[in-house]
Each structure stands twice: as C-alpha cells, then as structure tokens.
A and B are shown apart, each in its own frame.
Chain A
Amino acid sequence: MAVSPQFVRGSSSAFLTCLLLFTTFVSVSVVAGENNGTWGDTSRVSQVAEKKGEEVADSSVTHDQSNSSEHKKVFPVLSFNYDHVRTPFEISLWILLALLMKLGFHIIPRVSNVVPESCLLIVVGLLVGGIIKAIGEEAPVLDSKLFFLYLLPPIILDAGYFLPIRHFMENMGTILVFAVVGTLWNAFFVGGMMYAVCQIEGAQLGNVDLLSCLLFGSIISAVDPVAVLAVFEEIHINELLHILVFGESLLNDAVTVVLYHLFEEFSHAGTVTIVDALLGVVCFLVVSLGGILVGFFYGILGAFTSRFTSHTRVIEPLFVFLYSYMAYLSAEVFHLSGIMSLIACGVMMRPYVEANISHKSYTTIKYFLKMWSSVSETLIFIFLGVSTVAGPHAWNWTFVVFTVVICLVSRVLGVIGLTYVINKFRIVKLTKKDQFIVAYGGLRGAIAFSLGFLLTNSQMKNMFLTAIITVIFFTVFVQGMTIRPLVELLAVKKKKESKPSINEEIHTQFLDHLLTGIEDICGHYGHHHWKDKLNRFNKTYVKRLLIAGDRSTEPQLISFYNKLEMKQAMMLVESGSAAKLPTVVSSVSVQNIQPKDSSRRRAIPSISKSREQEIRKILRANLQKTRQRLRSYSRHDLMMDPFEDNLSEVRFRKQRVEMERRMSHYLTVPANRQEMTPVRKVCFEPEHKVFTYITDGESPKGQTSRPHPSSPDAVSLLHEDSQRDNQRSVLRAKGDTELRAKTPDNQEQQEQQEEEQVKLSRCLSDPGPNKDEEGDGSFHS
C-alpha cells in the first residue's frame, strides 16, 4: 500500500466531508419522511390518477376539484413523491451509511489499529444521533423487534455455521459451566448487590424492589456474542480462549431468556414461591434443550434437502439460510432459546450440506453470511449510538457507578471461582492468564440493551436503560480498547497461523484411533470411545441418508486431501504465474521421495521421446477442445461469463504451461511413477476449466480423445450436463479399451493400475457443479 501520506490524508478528508454531507442527508430524509406522513395517502392516490389519467375515488376527486378550482391542472412533468418509497429508501440509506463508515475506518489505518471497530461505530452513531437531535427531530431507536428478528440472526448464524466443532466439543463442559453457572452467579450477585445499594439512604432509590433488581441483574449479566465477536475477531488469540468466551456468550442465551421471563413474570406477580423457583429450573431445561432440538430438526431437514439440489445449484445457499432462519423463528415462537436453536441448526447442517453442494454455493454461503453478519454488526453498533442520544435518560450517579463496579467484580469473582472448580476436571488446565482474558473478555452489548428496552415499567426503565448503556459503553470502549495491548503485554498465545497440513490431518486421525484403541484396552469407556461410536453411527446411517451419491462413503482423510489439492490448484490459478505452487517453495519434487530400491518395476524403461511428444500433443489438443465446449451450455448452468473469457484465456494458457511442465517432469521418470500422477493431476485442475470433454457427436477420434488416464476422470468429474451421462459412459468405456490398445508397450501391470485409477481417481470431495450427475456405478470398485 504505497500511498503517499498526503494523498491519503487528502482523500480521507474528502471522504470524511462526503460522509458528513451524507449523514446530514440521512437526517434530512428522516425529517422529510416525518412531514410526509400526514397527507401521504391522498398524494399517492392523486399521483396514480395523474399517471393513469382516470377518474378514481372520491378523495382524489375532491382533491382534483379543489385543485381545479384554483387553477387549471397542468400535466406534471416532474413530481415528487417521497412517501412512496420512504421505508426502503431510509433502510437503504442507513445501511449505506453504516457500510461507508466501515469503509472509512479501514482507509485510516492508524485509528483502526488502536480502536476496535465497534467503538468507532458507536461514536458514529452518537454523532448521527446528535445531528438528528440538533435538527430537532426524533431519532430512530434500536427497536427490539428489529434487533431480535432481523439484526441478530445473521450474526449468530455466521458464528454457528463456522463454529470450530472440535474445540467446542472438547471444551463443552467448561463452556457450559461458565455459561450456566457463571451467568446465574452474575445475575444473582449483581441483583442482590444492587438491591443492597438501593437501600442506601440518600440515593433516592428506595422504590426499587428486589425483583426489579434481580431482573436488572439478569439483563446485565449476560456476555454478549456480538460484542465479543467484534472485539475478539481483531485480536487473534488462541482458539481455546476464543472458544471459551465465545461459546459462553452463545450458550448463556438460554439462561438469560429464562431468567428474564421469570423475573418479569414475578415482578408483575409480586411474590415468589419455591414452586416458582422449581418451575424456573424446569423452564431452563425446556428452553435450552427445546431450542437445540428445534435446531437439530431444521438442520436435518436442510441437510436432507441439499441432497437433492444437484439440478438446481443456484438456489442451494437459500436453503441453508432459510432453514436456519426458520429454526430461529420457530424457537422464538415457543419462547425457546432462538440462539441455541440457530447454532444447533448450523452445526448439524454443515457437514452434510458441504458434502452435497457445489463449490460455488459453498463460497456463496460463506460470503453471504459474512456480508450479512458484517452489516448487522455495523448497524447494531450505530443504532446503539443513536439510541443513546435519543432515548430518555434518568441518570443516577449511585446506581450507575455501582452497577459498573459490581458487574466487573462479579465477573472476576465468578471466573476465578469457577475455574478453580473446573480445573479439577480438566486435563489442560486454565492458567491465570487464561482466566484473566476470560474475565476481561466478558463484554456486554446490544442484547442487554434490547432486553432492557423491552421492559414495561417506565419509571425504572429509564434508569435501568441508562445504567445498561453505561455498562455497555464501559465494556466496549474501555475493555475493548485495552484488551489488545494487554494480550500483547501478557504474551497470551495467539492463534496459530498454520496452513492445513496433510501430515497433521493424517496424524490427527491416527491419534483418534490410537487413543480409542488404548481406551478400549484399558477397559473404560472414555471420551474417545463415545466419539468413535458417534462417528461410526454417523458413517453408517446418517451420512448415507443425508449425503447424495457415493460421497457418503468417502473417508474424511480423502476429502481433506482432495480439498487441499483443490486449494492448491486454485492458488496456482490465482497467482497466475507458471511458477511452482506457492506452498511448495522447495525444489523437492516427487522423484526425490520415490524409493530407488529394487522392485520389479525398476526394470521398466522410461517412455521414449516420441511417445512423450505424442502424449503432449494429444494433451494440448484435448485441452483446446475442452475450451471450446464451454460455450455450448445452457443458461442455467453455472458457468463463466463470456466477458471473462479473455482473462481466463490467459489464465488457461498459463495453467497449461504449468501443467505441461509438470507433465514433462513426470514423463521423464520411470513408468511406475505414472500411476501417481493421474490422481494428483485430477485435483489440480480447477473446476471452471475442465469441463466437458465429452461432446455431443464428436465421438472419440481415436487418438485424440483419450491420451492420458487422467483426463477422462478429471473432466468427467466436473461435468455439468446430465444428458451426457450415457454418452459419457459409452465414451469412457471406449476410452478404456483404446487406452489399453494404445499403450501396448507399457506393462500389463501398469494398465491394470491405470484402469483402476480410471475408476478410483476421482476428486470425490470436490463438489463440482454436477458432481453426482455421474449416476453410473461403473466407477465404484
């Protein structure tokens, strides 16, 4: 980013002025909208009448008459009707504002390094709120319905869908203890202490009773996932801490929901009995387990639906989003925990959906989720700022100050106490540093605000809201800003920046089996035993049901390997050069590792030069043909834009060069190596390039069609059109025989292996556009 400072400053100041103008525009539009409200209907109707030139209902007639009595109506060339589009217009303006703000922060790197984005957004919200108030209009407040139904779900879905399952499950016990017991402790401690504070003479708080305090405590005690995400995302701490705090913020939703409803009911009723308390506990179980079940149900539905979407790839992402949203809404209907339902749905759905959908759909899902959650988060923080300025406040020094202090104290005490107990059961204990980060990372956010907003008792509501906002500001600003330097200072372990490694994956699986085996030998059914049982159940029953085609039987190691190869191939295309793969920065290549020791195959002579040339020529021709076929697809297939052709042409050429280089490399080594290359090659070819090789009518011109064992597979993998199935299988069969016929000088052994490869070497886990079009089972051994 070699931009000169002046330019940046100049452009950023220009940008900021534009931003300021924009915010004024936003406020003005809000004002204009307000004024339009009264005579909106009639004006719209008259508009319609004018457009259609027809006589309409009385109201318009009277309007017309009143108009015509003044002057002859002139046909309106240009008219202004803002009210018509008011709502979507304003919404879009707000979202645009939010995004422009986000953009602005990243242009000014200095600020965004010190201050977390959430803080900046709140400040912006404050500014906008201030402007609106200065104009004298009423600013929009963060409506709870808007928040809970529209702004919160995308963030939670994004978090749940990409939740690191392994870490989550390993630390489930700890997370649950923190979420349930910790939140309960916080709620009661804060509530109780605040009640004690309210008893202090001279604080004018005498009218706050115990139940209200407890209600307040339950609202303020929950760690907020939005705030935690916003801050922790930027500091990159190690996965354990991240999942602990984040998991806690997700799972405490059930506790919060129950406590909130409980205390609200009680504060209306006035008295509490033991039965009520017991019912509360039962309610908690129902809320949490019910939410999870609802989530699982929708997750399975979603996974099952995705099994059949191979013909309509374009709408696949929508299924994921809609089923998840339905899960959330369904849970909310019964007052179950919507957040837990959403998380459960995402977790349940993900492995199966990802096995079924195409690569493009996967990317779409990922980006849409990130996009929506980003927008939501930004909007939430801005609205929080605006609401702060707008809302009626009742500032009470004692109450607010004590709230902040007591919240902090209770969090610290809670974490320390619980860790002491938890460490007795954990293998990998939590150190003091970990505890500090967990305690410090307990940020409050918009959920607390919205819950406070829902309170009905207006007298104390304002005071509570003020206190809540203060706590939120304190945690987000003070704790959010200082957590990064503290993490550096305490030298907390950061997230590992490691690339996925095939060796690590092999050994992770190896370890799993090893530990399960050792547990079996030891004779007790531990953690690994049950995990293994679950995996086996999953493999034999669930996967078969929910995953399309034969990918259901693909072992995880192979999917991982194929995904890795695919990624490397993509990177190769992205880097656009004919150089080596970025990850392999060494000169080590396949031949370095092949055993030179004696085997029968050693005696095989290498391919003659002429043969090599022939193969190369065939390949070239083949690939060219592939290219031409692309244009004949129908509109509904996901294919490249014709405008992209030039660019991809260049890329394609580069890849071909690279591939040929590799080919030559492979071809010059003894023949027994060849069997490996097809499999590798298959996966190196990115999907958009290798399409139909099969053509309609252009029957295999003998030599030109099947030169190399890998091409039929590589191509057939990513085939789009289903009608060509039959042709393909015929062609393939022919190709096999031709192949065999064509290479008489190779060993029979090699042929056999090649035949096997033709069957076996499939990028099974590459969910290419029409992965499972290949209904024919001839390739499954």
Chain B
Amino acid sequence: MGASQTRSESVYQELMDKTGFSLEQIKNLKKRFLQLSGNEETISRENLDAIPALANNPIRKQIIEAFFDKRNQRSSEVGHLEEIGFEQFVMVMSHFRPPALRTSVEEREVMRKEKLQFLFNMHDTDNDGVITLVEYRKVVEELLSKSGAIGHEAARAIADAAMLEVASTNVPDMAPDDFYEGITFEHFEQILKGLEMESRMHIRFLDVDTSTMRCGKSTS
C-alpha cells in the first residue's frame, strides 16, 4: 500500500459504490482483513476458524461457510471458493449494513430481500433453491448443538413443526398425498415477514479504527 493515497482511494471507490460503505469503514475492514489473514492477500477457512471468540458460537460453521459461498457475492455464480480476497470479504459484510435514515420504502424492500437471501443461502446448503426438511433439521440441530445433550429428537420435532407451519401458511390446501418439496425463497420471505429484517439484521460498522483494541485476532 504505501504512497499513493489517491490510488487506494480510487480502488476503494469501486468497492464503496458497490457495497455502500464509507471510506473509513472500508479502511477499518481492510485492517481487520489483514489481521485475520496474517497480512496475506486472501483468507481461508482456517483463518476464520481460528478466531477464538467464534468458538462458542453454535452456528459457526454456517457463518464461515457463508463467506466462501459464491451466491453471496451478488453475482449469479454458484459454488464455493477456497479462499476469498478483500473484495469478497467486504461484499459479504455489506449484507449487514443498517438502513440509513433516508432510505425509501422501495430501497428498504430491496435491502430486506438481500438480507433474507443471505439467510436463505445459509440454510440452503445444496444450492437447489429450496430448503428441504433435512436441511432445516440441520439448522435447528446446529442451533441447539451448544445447549447440552438435548439430542436429535427435540430438534427434529421443532424443525418438523416449523416446516409444517411454513407449509400451512403458504400452501393451505394441500391434498393428503401432495408433497411439500421445501421452503422456496418466496415462502421464506413470507414466513419471516414479521421480523423486519432490514432493521434487525445489521451490526454497527465503526467509523473509527479499532485495531488498537484487543480483539480476537487469529494471528499475532
């Protein structure tokens, strides 16, 4: 990096336009990226795995996987990457931006769809566009995994009940022989309409540099 401030700015300009972050925020993210990667150009799964604070998180694997999922890059590719660069890192982070005061209703809708799509991608691990019962069960199991040995049966029951709920609200008149394939994105949107994702799914991206604070660095 070094001398040309303007060059890095113009490089970041593209990122800023694509993701909506401010320059300060991107710089902070860059610092964090370099911390995580050990000053390398790319981050691998092991780098993220090594964050100590994540160890207690029950859905750690899904979170890490989400960074390497091509679907979250706002392109139409599918599949997984082995390593991600800074642009992809920021792209994934941009899903967690809060809505500004002046966003219009349409913009909020777009934002909500994006965030819901992110969640959907996290659940739909086999990329087939629907969340099947098996996948949903896995989600609930993972959620309960850190809560002691409650076991598979309770998770199963909950996942089944949840699936039943989705099916009942979205496809109320099913004949006994019909089969509900899985939760499509539309159904997913419908079922989570009440949560107002655009206001809830965000974190505060700081405008100040926090790298001097002690945080869960993977490499020293």
Contact surface of A with B, Cβ cutoff 8 Å: 423, 427-429, 496, 498, 501-504, 506-511, 513-529, 532, 536, 553-555, 557-558, 561, 564-565, 584-596, 675-676, 679-680, 753, 756-757, 760-761, 780-781
Contacts and interface: CB of A to CB of B under 8 A. Distances in A.
A383 B67 CA distance: 64
Contacts of A501: 165, 191, 194
What 8 A-B pairs are tightest by C-beta distance, nearest first?
A586-B172, A555-B147, A520-B53, A523-B215, A679-B157, A586-B168, A517-B63, A588-B167
B91 interface: no
A761 B157 CA distance: 10
B213 interface: yes
Interface string B48-88: 10010110111110010001000000000000000000000
B2 interface: no
A503 B165 contact: yes
Contacts of B93: 518, 522
A593 B160 contact: yes
Given A501-B194, A511-B200, A525 B56 contact: no
B140 A557 contact: yes
B135 to A, nearest CB: 10
A596 B134 CA distance: 11
B96 A524 contact: no
Most buried by A among B35, B171, B195, B211: B195
24 contacts: A423-B101, A427-B98, A502-B162, A503-B192, A514-B119, A518-B96, A519-B203, A521-B51, A522-B29, A522-B203, A523-B215, A523-B216, A524-B206, A553-B147, A561-B154, A587-B175, A588-B180, A589-B164, A590-B160, A593-B133, A593-B164, A676-B157, A679-B153, A680-B157
Contacts of B48: 521
Contacts of B139: 506, 510
A558 B150 contact: yes
A477 to B, nearest CB: 35
Given A423-B101, A520-B54, A561-B154, 15 more contacts: A429-B101, A498-B194, A517-B60, A518-B96, A523-B35, A523-B215, A529-B53, A557-B158, A558-B144, A561-B161, A588-B180, A592-B174, A592-B179, A679-B156, A760-B154
A502 B165 contact: yes
Contact of B192 (A507, A527, A595): A507
B1 interface: no
A502 B98 CA distance: 26
Nearest to A591: B176
Given A514-B59, A592-B176, A753 B153 contact: yes
Contact of A675 (B153, B169, B194): B153
Most buried by A among B59, B93, B168, B213: B168
B111 interface: no
A167 to B, nearest CB: 12
Given A509-B143, A523-B32, A588-B172, A502 B161 contact: yes
Contacts of B206: 524
Contact of B180 (A528, A585, A593): A593
Given A536-B56, A587-B172, A676-B157, A506 B140 contact: yes
A526 B210 CA distance: 11
A520 B194 contact: no
B94 to A, nearest CB: 11
Contacts of B203: 515, 518-519, 522, 526-528
A520 B93 CA distance: 12
B7 interface: no
A761 B154 contact: yes
Contacts, number: 201
A565 to B, nearest CB: 8
B129 interface: no
A524 B143 contact: no
B172 A585 contact: yes
Contacts of A553: 147-148
A680 B161 contact: yes
A515 B150 contact: no
A762 to B, nearest CB: 9
Given A506-B139, A514-B59, A676 B160 contact: yes
A595 B204 contact: no
B107 to A, nearest CB: 14
B178 interface: yes
A520 B51 contact: yes
B199 interface: yes
A420 to B, nearest CB: 12
Interface of B: 29, 32, 35-36, 48, 51, 53-54, 56-60, 63, 67, 93, 96, 98, 101, 119, 122, 132-134, 139-140, 143-144, 147-151, 153-154, 156-158, 160-169, 171-176, 178-180, 191-192, 194-195, 199-206, 210-211, 213, 215-217
A82 B156 CA distance: 68
Given A496-B194, A513-B143, A536-B56, A588 B164 contact: yes
Contacts of B150: 554-555, 558, 760
Nearest to B192: A507
B205 A522 contact: yes
Contacts of A590: 160, 164
Contacts of B173: 586-587
Most buried by B among A496, A502, A584, A756: A502
Contacts of A502: 158, 161-162, 165
Nearest to A496: B194
B120 to A, nearest CB: 11
B150 to A, nearest CB: 6
Contact of A525 (B164, B172, B178, B215): B215
Contacts of A529: 53
Nearest to B206: A524
Contacts of A496: 194
Nearest to B140: A506
A504 B116 CA distance: 13
Contacts of A564: 161
A238 to B, nearest CB: 11
Contacts of A509: 143
Given A498-B194, A588-B174, A427 B204 contact: yes
Nearest to A581: B168
A518 B66 CA distance: 11
Contacts of B165: 501-503
B35 to A, nearest CB: 7
B193 to A, nearest CB: 9
A557 B145 CA distance: 12
Contacts of B36: 521, 523
A292 B78 CA distance: 53
Most buried by B among A508, A528, A679, A780: A679
Nearest to A679: B157
Contacts of B168: 584-586, 588
Nearest to A682: B157
Contacts of B101: 423, 429
A511 B197 CA distance: 10
Contacts of B175: 587
Contacts of A585: 168, 172
B201 A587 contact: no
A526 B140 contact: no
A753 B152 CA distance: 10
Contacts of A760: 150-151, 153-154
Nearest to B95: A518
Contacts of B166: 503
A518 B63 contact: yes
Contacts of A592: 167, 174, 176, 178-180
A429 B103 CA distance: 11
Given A523-B35, A676-B160, A781 B151 contact: yes
B176 A561 contact: no
Nearest to A519: B203
A585 B167 CA distance: 11
A38 B215 CA distance: 78
Nearest to B166: A503
Given A514-B63, A520-B57, A427 B148 contact: no
